[in-house]
């Protein structure tokens, strides 16, 4: 009967869903909640270096207009 295959289908679907959510959680953990940047060219790498110089993190951008006065 086709109903005998439903538990196996549920287990496989659950395992695939778990792996997808786990990878999403690990991405947020290691990239500070920002999406991973794919296909970087020279301009993107230069901008990441600039962002790291300004904010201290290469994965985020800062839109603050006030800079710290201790520099």
Q: Residue 18 has what pLDDT? A: 96
Sign of CA dihedral 33, 36, 42, 45: positive
Using only the alpha carbons of the chain, give its radius of gyration.
21
> What token pair was written down for 19?
């792996």
Tally the C-alpha atoms within 13 A of residue 11's C-alpha that lie toward its C-beta: 5
Q: Residue 22 has what pLDDT? A: 94
Rounded Cα gap, residues 57 and 59, in angstroms:
6
> What token pair was written down for 15?
């395992």
Q: Residue 28 has what pLDDT? A: 85
- pLDDT tens string for the chain (71 positions)? 888 999 999 999 999 999 999 998 888 888 777 776 677 788 888 888 888 888 777 666 556 556 556 55
């Amino acid at each position: 009967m086709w109903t005998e295959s439903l538990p196996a289908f549920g287990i496989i679907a659950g395992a695939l869903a778990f792996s997808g959510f786990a990878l999403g959680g690990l991405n947020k953990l290691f990239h500070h909640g920002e999406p991973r940047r794919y296909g970087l060219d020279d301009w993107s790498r230069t901008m990441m270096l600039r962002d790291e110089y300004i904010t201290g993190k290469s994965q985020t951008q800062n839109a603050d207009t006030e800079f710290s006065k201790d520099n």
